Amino acid sequence: MNEATSPLVKTPRALVWIGRLLALPVVFLFGMSTVMKFKGGPEMTDGMAKLGLPESMILPLAILELVCLVLYLVPWTAVLGAILLTGYLGGAICTHWRVGDPFVVQAGLGVVLWLSVYLRDRRLWQLIPFRGLAG
């Protein structure tokens, strides 16, 4: 381990702020999705039916999404939240793919989610090293 990738060396402030800014669309999209699930309504029921999912899954999915989002938002658990949200997105991608819907948004959201965490948490730099960030 060199000094540039040591977890004891502070992450450059600019990268932390870029990571935080990248987290905004992630938080917004997951937050809106959670609110819509808690709100319910005929649009939500129809959307679930189109995906082949029972209405009874709406509330459990809303709770799961909210818990994962909160874990992602807390700095000490952001990596765990990112892992759980990635699993959630994997299920969403599979569900949309199965019914022939596009899933580009879900895949792109996963990339932005991880880029956001990567830029904010220097420990990940050891797992996925990019020479340009180690400066």
Per-residue pLDDT of the chain (135 residues; tens, 9 = 90+): 555 555 556 778 899 999 999 999 999 999 999 999 999 999 999 999 999 999 999 999 999 999 999 999 999 999 999 999 999 999 999 999 999 999 999 999 999 999 999 999 888 888 877 766 555
Residues in the chain: 135
DSSP result, 98-123 = HTT---HHHHHHHHHHHHHHHHH-TH
Q: What is the pLDDT of residue 95?
A: 96
Measured between alpha carbons, how far apart are the two ends of the chain, in Å? 14
SS3 67: helix
Q: Which two tokens stand for residue 23?
A: 């987290």
Q: Which two tokens stand for residue 122?
A: 């220097």
Q: From CA 123, how far away is CA 5, in angstroms rounded?
A: 8
> Are the CB atoms for 125 and 5 separated by under 8 Å?
yes
Boundaries of every domain in the chain: 77-127
Q: From CA 81, how far away is CA 27, in angstroms rounded?
A: 11
Residue with tokens 């060199």: 2
Q: What is the pLDDT of residue 130?
A: 73
